[in-house]
Chains A and B, each alone.
Chain A
């Protein structure tokens, strides 16, 4: 099978991610073994050579992301996949990819941290790291799938956003979503929207400025492109001390993401205009929401939700809209509280933010636990 044919399949999340990448045109993968992301490497190693792509296991995660950045400058759509410990090692190059405007996709299948933590168990502890992990002024695009289907569709979207904005994009998944098997529908490929990076015209020389998202040559196209992670001008020439050049570059890099928040943001919402209790969730945790909301409504509690498919940039306006209506917003997370603070910031005191946290052993927040919380908060008069 060269490219997955349109059909329904029963796939594991990691497998769906690989097929989504291949459908997007990904032809270079470099990775390092790590639970629970190894199946992505294994599947890539099997699939890519058959479609003239390259899959290689590097000596560590630093080298893995370095290799995909090199491949991207050679013209490839390229991806790596890892989990928390490897994601920590990749932060250096994530900043580099951001600074050099190198499109690439980094999949982080979250497990329980810090450190080695519980290697095989699900967690959501890397949400803030995915936004702030590298040093310096940085803006991230981070997507959060919650089904095997979305491991396919959001991988496609990750590549499209990377190519469109010339920036690294993080697919922040988790052990539950990537290890479970579900039915997935692969659409006909001609119906899948694929975006490719803008290429320079002959004679162009400014690949790092002038335009908000500049054109990107490959290293073999005769443009003599100078790529550097140091502060540089529009032509890639290093300026290690000039305050104006630095400000201009780094503000543009951040603004090209921040100023497109509406366009990048993607979320699912239900009843946010008319609810007493709101829920904001993402990834594996969001899978408990639908049932809990249904049961709460059956008991007469007006409940609504936002399910984040993009975590960063954070959809502040939509969250604020929910906060204007709801008295309380419950934020279930498999961590000790991360996105709840962002919700609190965005809701500007209009609603009370109630974190619902659980960590360890990969145990998920169940619909029953969430329902109990909804009912308790609906009753409480505070």
Chain B
């Protein structure tokens, strides 16, 4: 049975700005429930970082915590400087697909490569929602958006697979129709070290759903449920069978030295020679 609790203890007393039916509510709730279940009474162990876009507002300024809301796509570099200089806090980054793997893609790959000690939660609504529904690097092929009125003519990016390939210690994808699995992944990721990536495919009823052929948020959730394919199953499917599916599950889980561990080892070595 799920314990009831109020997320208010983690929030500033402000009105949330998100549209009715937005997937962000589920993700915000799920994250805070995970934090609650891990026994954190407040968010003082964390520092939050985000860029520009709807999902970057999840933590800033609504979480009662230290939060840095950076320029578009630049949450990861700011988090890098912060984490390296002050490694004691757990860094959690929230961002959208445009923020993390559009304009900020280079930082994302490099953070995975250098194994930055941070958890990145990417809300993938497959569109630039805040600016009114333009095509994103994650928009499914042939989808209509405001800047692809005849359908998108590019293939979308698989951010979770990319993170896994670039060296992330944890890389996983769920949808807002999988809150239980998402919560367990968040709990697991918070307790791990190194670069951890969680992609959540999410519904944007305002800027995506209608143009892409969905009536409302509910229809999108139904679509997520029907098309979500566990990675174990997906690996046995051919290219044609996998088309249009949302592959969910854990793509990578490994332990390797993090940048914080490595850089402080270098500092110790450099000073050893001084003695």
Where the two chains meet, the residues of A that have a C-beta atom closer than 8 Å to any C-beta of B are: 2, 27-28, 30, 49-50, 52, 54, 56, 58-60, 62-64, 66-76, 78, 92-93, 96, 218-220, 222-230, 236-238
Complex: A2 Cα to B274 Cα, angstroms = 9
Complex: A2 Cα to B78 Cα, angstroms = 28
Where the two chains meet, the residues of B that have a C-beta atom closer than 8 Å to any C-beta of A are: 12, 14, 44, 47, 49, 60-61, 64-71, 74, 76-86, 88-89, 106-107, 110, 263, 266-267, 270-271, 274
Complex: A228 Cα to B81 Cα, angstroms = 16
Asked if B69 and A66 sit within 8 Å, CB to CB, the answer is no
Complex: A2 Cα to B271 Cα, angstroms = 10
Q: Using A54-B85, A74-B86 as known contacts, list a sample of 20 further A-B pairs with CB atoms less than 8 Å apart, ordered by residue number in A.
A: A2-B274, A28-B85, A30-B81, A49-B271, A52-B271, A60-B106, A63-B110, A66-B74, A67-B78, A69-B70, A92-B74, A96-B70, A96-B74, A219-B68, A226-B66, A226-B69, A228-B61, A229-B69, A229-B71, A236-B61
Output the least CB separation between B64 and chain A (Å): 6
Total number of residue pairs linking A and B with CB closer than 8 Å:
138
Q: Which residue of B lies closest to A69 (CB)?
A: B78
Q: A59-B106, A226-B60, A230-B69 are in contact. Are A71 and B270 (CB under 8 A)?
A: no
Asked if B85 and A93 sit within 8 Å, CB to CB, the answer is no
Q: List 14 A-B contacts (CB under 8 A).
A: A49-B267, A49-B271, A54-B85, A62-B77, A63-B110, A66-B78, A66-B80, A70-B78, A73-B78, A93-B71, A96-B74, A226-B60, A226-B69, A228-B69
Closest 9 CB pairs of A and B: A70-B81, A66-B77, A67-B81, A70-B82, A226-B61, A74-B86, A49-B270, A71-B81, A63-B77
Asked if A220 and B271 sit within 8 Å, CB to CB, the answer is no
Complex: A375 Cα to B144 Cα, angstroms = 71
Output the least CB separation between B271 and chain A (Å): 6
Q: A28-B84, A74-B86, A226-B61 are in contact. Are A59 and B107 (CB under 8 A)?
A: yes
Output the least CB separation between B182 and chain A (Å): 25
Complex: A220 Cα to B86 Cα, angstroms = 8
Complex: A66 Cα to B64 Cα, angstroms = 23
Q: Which residue of B lies closest to A92 (CB)?
A: B71
Complex: A102 Cα to B74 Cα, angstroms = 15
Q: A59-B110, A67-B78, A220-B89 are in contact. Are A54 and B84 (CB under 8 A)?
A: yes
Complex: A27 Cα to B85 Cα, angstroms = 9
CB < 8 Å neighbour of B70 from A54, A58, A222, A229: A229
Instruction: Write out the residue numbers on chain B whose beta carbons fall within 8 Å of the beta carbon of A228.
Output: 60-61, 68-69
Instruction: Write out the residue numbers on chain B whose beta carbons fall within 8 Å of the beta carbon of A27.
Output: 85
Complex: A224 Cα to B79 Cα, angstroms = 16
Asked if B71 and A71 sit within 8 Å, CB to CB, the answer is no
Asked if B64 and A224 sit within 8 Å, CB to CB, the answer is yes
Q: A30-B81, A50-B274 are in contact. Are A224 and B65 (CB under 8 A)?
A: yes
Asked if A58 and B263 sit within 8 Å, CB to CB, the answer is no
Q: Which residue of A lies closest to B59 (CB)?
A: A226
